[in-house]
Structure 1
């Protein structure tokens, strides 16, 4: 081996050793952050939602208070910079000189927590993604050797954070690839695999449980046409969600005074919560209740009106939350809406057509289909949905609905909330 070859070999050896160490740290910190935010949000959301359920006026007070606190924190603590969601990562990875400042970690952590706890109709997933991406970005700045691998380290943080939230290492890596990186390199796989492995170990160490506890009894081949129908309906609804969010953001951006944005957003959000308390926060509490009842529900006029209202008003409440300054994205709303679409469709099919489908299965499939269509990332949605229940029995049906939903949505409207923002920079 000549001298040049030895130098090159040593350089690669040193690089991968350093990447291994920094990926390990990124994985640990991202998982710790994600699980901390998840547990804090679950704990305080339950308390505040219970208080609001027995004191209706708190459905009005909480959104105003939460959005106001976020504004003042941003104004006095977080350099007067608005959180722009996934677009912040795109801006950072687009140019080598750009980076995510370290204050983005507490900014998204605190604002994401406050948004959901005080009734904001979104979730902590995007807050977690940006905060964990920032961990990767900050780590990249600590050594010149990592300059060429900024995107890989950011993706390592994102993959670890998603893994910790959704109990699915495949979903973490696939989301980093489908949404953030758009390409797979050796260093991408190396960094993400180490970070996700550490995150997975952290999950088992803390004995984290899947988000939804369900018992799947199997599925039937005769239901495949209904799976396709569910995918089409979910794809259409995802376009409604996307356009709703974009419309609210566009109109609210024309309102110059933040005070007026908060007031208008709070009025819309509070009205939605008074009408449908199920829209409070992430809404996972409502999904869990319906999972328990799903196979025993029968179609009534009140049930149909309630479910249809939830499907229509959740995008409006989510859009008002985000446009008024709340922190979050479309992850949790997509899962929430998809669950109700799937359950309503299954009950209707059984009632009017004697389809003999399993409502619980359709709830799970609806979650995956809606998420796939909303973010145009079907493979992320497939494994994330399996991670939600820690069960791969429905893998083939989930695959079908996620693919159908994604391409249905894309045919109707080519953009997601993420890609529209990136395309209009």
Structure 2
């Protein structure tokens, strides 16, 4: 009996030893992938956007170029299979025998890059998540002893990728838990903690900086009711974003020819970018500009119309980008829309109600609220938002606003883009 116990203990020791090694490898590879994609996207997006700003006709050319390249790559290089985003992870984790094929790494990396730099109105976050998840899936396939821990190793890749993108280890672990796993285990805690630790070390060594460089001003309790109002508005807008994405994807799925999807998407995206160039790519350039000028912004009719247009049309352009074959998700659009909702609410309150609130704070809190409502992951949104500015002084108002936003969105519509895909997959399996 003692011999059997000894053998079992030895087996468990070996298994956890391999899990630790796997988590280190996954954290290293996933963080390098995320940082490479982020830096490449930032560089080329800025370069092409500057060209388009000087020559407006390029706004009518770039989206077609990007979506056409992606379509050709998919047909000739990536087994003629469209990327499905987070749904691909769910399809893999729902069945033990399923796995993410290795070509998903270059597929999401390249397609995510080309989508954003050529003006596709989304971000690289979901591309990074699926590519990083693939690293975890492949690692599990290479070692039979880890077969039962596919989900945990996929989560390790996801957590490391999110950590590298937003310089927030808590956001990485919480996203893997709230969106992908939804359950805790010793193995999950072990591998995600190790992978995000490796990822944050890589970020420090490579001198990664927060996405937004701002100086936060101290928030005041008198603004608390307005934070709740911001959460309610963000929750309603998140439902609008979700339903818009699902609507356009369903409509474009009825087109038999892929060329029809590409041309229609490119035409409407180009028109949208010509009218509102702030919607180009992930839109972080517009967020940075408005963060810098937020506290001195004076509300005028043109500014009001512009911000309203941004809030209304960003979900439409995001949906067209995804429906037309672009790679991405609702991560960056949620952050973008939330920032402008917060800015608009703050300047309206200051202009018409003499509320004397701080627009910069409202922009940052709005980002978290909208993200929380869009993916129904409030704690991910809280720590990710703090990671965006590398400042936790707004933690409490962000916490309250994120919880309110998530509650409102879920009461209006119970699904996110991610959970709708998972629910649809489960229904298909039952049939």
| TM-score normalized by the length of structure 2 | 0.98
Q: Which residue of 2 aligns with 1:338?
A: 338
How far residue 217 of structure 1 moved from its aligned partner, in angstroms, is: 1.7
Aligned pairs for 1:125-274 within 5 A: 125-274=125-274
Q: Which residue of 2 aligns with 1:99?
A: 99
How far residue 56 of structure 1 moved from its aligned partner, in angstroms, is: 0.8
Which string of whole-angstrom CA distances, capped at 9 and with x for unpartnered residues, describes residues 387-418 of structure 1? 00000000000001100000100000000001
> Which stretches of structure 1, 4 residues or longer, exceed 4 Å deviation after superposition?
none
Structure 2: unaligned runs, 5 residues or longer: 426-431
How far residue 365 of structure 1 moved from its aligned partner, in angstroms, is: 0.3
Q: Which residue of 1 aligns with 2:399?
A: 399
Cα RMSD between the aligned structures? Answer: 0.6
How far residue 155 of structure 1 moved from its aligned partner, in angstroms, is: 0.1
- Once residues 391 and 3 of structure 2 are traced to their aligned partners in structure 1, the CA distance between those partners, rounded to angstroms, is 53
SS in 2 for 1:101: coil
- Once residues 104 and 183 of structure 1 are traced to their aligned partners in structure 2, the CA distance between those partners, rounded to angstroms, is 25
Which string of whole-angstrom CA distances, capped at 9 and with x for unpartnered residues, describes residues 16-59 of structure 1? 11111110000000000000000000000000000011111110
Q: Which residue of 2 aligns with 1:29?
A: 29
- Once residues 63 and 285 of structure 2 are traced to their aligned partners in structure 1, the CA distance between those partners, rounded to angstroms, is 18
Q: Which residue of 2 aligns with 1:371?
A: 371
SS in 1 for 2:61: helix
- Once residues 302 and 217 of structure 1 are traced to their aligned partners in structure 2, the CA distance between those partners, rounded to angstroms, is 27
How far residue 99 of structure 1 moved from its aligned partner, in angstroms, is: 0.2
| TM-score normalized by the length of structure 1 | 0.99
Which string of whole-angstrom CA distances, capped at 9 and with x for unpartnered residues, describes residues 360-405 of structure 1? 0000000000000000000000000000000000000000110000
SS in 2 for 1:424: helix
SS in 2 for 1:57: helix
How far residue 422 of structure 1 moved from its aligned partner, in angstroms, is: 1.2
Number of equivalenced pairs: 425
- Once residues 182 and 292 of structure 1 are traced to their aligned partners in structure 2, the CA distance between those partners, rounded to angstroms, is 37
Which string of whole-angstrom CA distances, capped at 9 and with x for unpartnered residues, describes residues 334-359 of structure 1? 00000000000000011111111100
- Once residues 207 and 274 of structure 1 are traced to their aligned partners in structure 2, the CA distance between those partners, rounded to angstroms, is 35
- Once residues 217 and 414 of structure 2 are traced to their aligned partners in structure 1, the CA distance between those partners, rounded to angstroms, is 36
Which string of whole-angstrom CA distances, capped at 9 and with x for unpartnered residues, describes residues 282-321 of structure 1? 0000000001100000111111000000000000110000
Q: Which residue of 2 aligns with 1:117?
A: 117
How far residue 424 of structure 1 moved from its aligned partner, in angstroms, is: 1.3
- Once residues 189 and 25 of structure 1 are traced to their aligned partners in structure 2, the CA distance between those partners, rounded to angstroms, is 16
- Once residues 236 and 289 of structure 1 are traced to their aligned partners in structure 2, the CA distance between those partners, rounded to angstroms, is 26
How far residue 176 of structure 1 moved from its aligned partner, in angstroms, is: 0.1
Q: Which residue of 2 aligns with 1:88?
A: 88
How far residue 94 of structure 1 moved from its aligned partner, in angstroms, is: 0.3
Aligned pairs for 1:10-89 within 5 A: 10-89=10-89
- Once residues 223 and 184 of structure 1 are traced to their aligned partners in structure 2, the CA distance between those partners, rounded to angstroms, is 36
User: Are residue 284 (structure 1) and residue 284 (structure 2) matched?
Assistant: yes
- Once residues 7 and 53 of structure 1 are traced to their aligned partners in structure 2, the CA distance between those partners, rounded to angstroms, is 67
Structure 1: unaligned runs, 5 residues or longer: none
How far residue 226 of structure 1 moved from its aligned partner, in angstroms, is: 0.4
How far residue 3 of structure 1 moved from its aligned partner, in angstroms, is: 1.1
Q: Which residue of 2 aligns with 1:351?
A: 351
Aligned pairs for 1:296-307 within 5 A: 296-307=296-307
How far residue 423 of structure 1 moved from its aligned partner, in angstroms, is: 1.1
- Once residues 217 and 75 of structure 2 are traced to their aligned partners in structure 1, the CA distance between those partners, rounded to angstroms, is 52
How far residue 5 of structure 1 moved from its aligned partner, in angstroms, is: 1.3
Which string of whole-angstrom CA distances, capped at 9 and with x for unpartnered residues, describes residues 32-87 of structure 1? 00000000000000000000111111101100010000000000000001000000
